[in-house]
Amino acid sequence: MCGINLIFAYRDGPPVDRDELVRVRDAMAARGPDGAGEWISADGRVGFGHRRLAIIDLSPGGAQPMHSADGRLTITFNGEIYNYRALRQELEAAGTVFRSDSDTEVLLAAYDRFGPAMTQRLRGMYAFAIHDAARRGLFLARDPFGIKPLYVADDGRTLRAASQVKALLAGGGIDRSPAPAGHVGFFLLGYVPEPHTLHRGIRAIPAGGQMWVDADGVKESFHADVSALVTEAEPQPGAAAALHAALADSVAAHLVADVPVGVFLSAGMDSTTIAALATEAARAPLRTVTLGFEEFRGGDHDEVPLAETVARQIGSEHSTVWVSAEDFAAEAERLLQAMDQPTIDGVNVYFVSKVTAAAGLKVALSGLGGDELFGSYPSFTQVPALTRRLGWATAVPGLGRAARVLTAPLAAAVTSPKYAGLIEYADSVPRAWFLRRALFMPWELPLPREMVREGLDALALDARLAATAPCGTDRQRISALEMCWYMRSQLLRDADWAGMAHGLEIRVPLVDIALVRAVAPMLATDRPPDKQDMAAAPQRPLPDAVLRRPKTGFSVPVRDWLLKGVADRLGMAVDAGARGLRGWAGLVYRAAWGG
């Protein structure tokens, strides 16, 4: 896990400015505290930067940017390739000679042998760029789920790329003007949906995307489509043994490292299942960390007692750390600075990453992805129910909009203003899902009218949501929506910036291409696997209290913290009528954009 950046003058752009290259690289110092590297080609047209967090091959042989033995290929890489040992054996059998034990060199050799088709062989989380001197071009790629970020700025002459938006901005020369789609998208969803950012000059390479850049221009394509994988899978009942084997295989793969690997342990089934499976696969006692919130101590949302019970059962070396509103206030400015793009989530991950890194760990497994794959969000029941009960009303022209206009004042007074749109958005699973997930609705956005109009047009939200879930059962379609929107642009992005703020690599065994390929056909059946099926995977059963515990989510008392004056301590007022997540959204937006 690292921070990467590059500058490529692919047409008639000026030569690489070394000062800019280093400035962008070092803006990501927290991502790579173990080393820094840079390379500029002999002709001055290409420059790579790298900040290193050493996880696999801790020796200088794993340092980057890395060159192939013949000097033709150069790579800068962020992430981990979990099947690199198997790929290495395949390449060695074909005659490749390796000089290091790193997965980075395996990527170079795989590109040398297979070209861009190499991505079809990769299992892991990654974002990388490879300069091919013979072809005078640059190949960039990002993993299927978008676990690792990669942002680009292209002015038609020079391509710049980096692991963080703020790092690119630190280099200068980027169009900082507002991108309406990013601003509107944030208030609609609580995160900036890919590929947008808040800035016109910066966008993300999409999850599963790849790019070839040379003097002829930029060519983009996809090597993976998670939405299609999930929604187009044909029904295939899966035996419990097959599911459990796929889960155990994924957890074991995510333990590949030359440093100790820990687990974020809550009282939920996702993290307890991962911790139990990791204990079975690990060669040494597992280290687990639980985060407790003082405001929840002793209450229904207090996960600490049950997490500690699980830790004792699996025999892990366990740590519990408590945080309070005061801790949050003391850390809030650093948290907002680390937040690469505004998001209403991520606070919990930031704090658990902070204490995990302080405990001496550089890698931790997270249960992220279990709700999306095993259907435990409320959306999996509420969205189909809404379309069944109110879908008939959408056949009456104008009824939904009229009902929304008439009921909006009452909805705002009693619950959330967005629920005035119940009839209007019940016409399809994607639109009903958006209503369930939305923070603000299009008619109530706290932004200038022209920005709202332009942003909604650029987002084309209805069309994009429909394209994410074009077919399949309700379970398949909602899984695809959750994975490709909420999980991708919020949860995974939050795990990246919040972990990297403390030099901690967060791995997500339930967001694994091999696992999703195995489970997707099961999702299309009349009896798709659920959390109970997942939790039955460990050889030793989890405690009954875990299996019977209703889903509560990993809550963070942001509302309470705001009410206690955290915003005032930061010098930011929060509208008394916009407390809770909407108030927090306004605060993080102003911290990101100003005003």
Q: List active site positions.
A: 2
Angle, vertex CA 108, rays to CA 104 and CA 110, nearest 5: 110
Single-letter amino acid code for the residue at 100: S
Single-letter amino acid code for the residue at 10: Y
Which structure tokens are listed for 362?
A: 């550089």
SS3 at position 443: helix
Residue appearing with tokens 């590297």: 37
- CB count in 10 Å sphere of residue 101: 17
Q: Write down the H helix ranges in 192-303.
A: 226-231, 240-253, 269-281
Nearest to 280 by CA among 307, 235, 315: 315
Strands 287-293 and 317-323: parallel
Rounded to a whole number of angstroms, the CA Rg of the chain reads 24
* Cα 162 → chain centroid: 16
Cβ atoms 395, 381 nearer than 8 A: no
User: What are the start-end ranges of the E strands in 43-93?
Assistant: 46-52, 66-67, 73-81
Those residues whose C-beta lies under 8 Å from the C-beta of residue 577, and which sit 6 or more positions away, are: none
Maximum CA pair distance of the chain?
A: 72
Residue appearing with tokens 């005003």: 595
- CB count in 10 Å sphere of residue 97: 8
Nearest to 181 by CA among 541, 454, 559: 454
End-to-end CA distance of the chain: 34
Q: Is 407 exposed, middle or buried (0-12, 13-18, 19+ CB in 10 A)?
A: middle
Cβ atoms 289, 359 nearer than 8 A: yes
Residue appearing with tokens 């927290």: 30
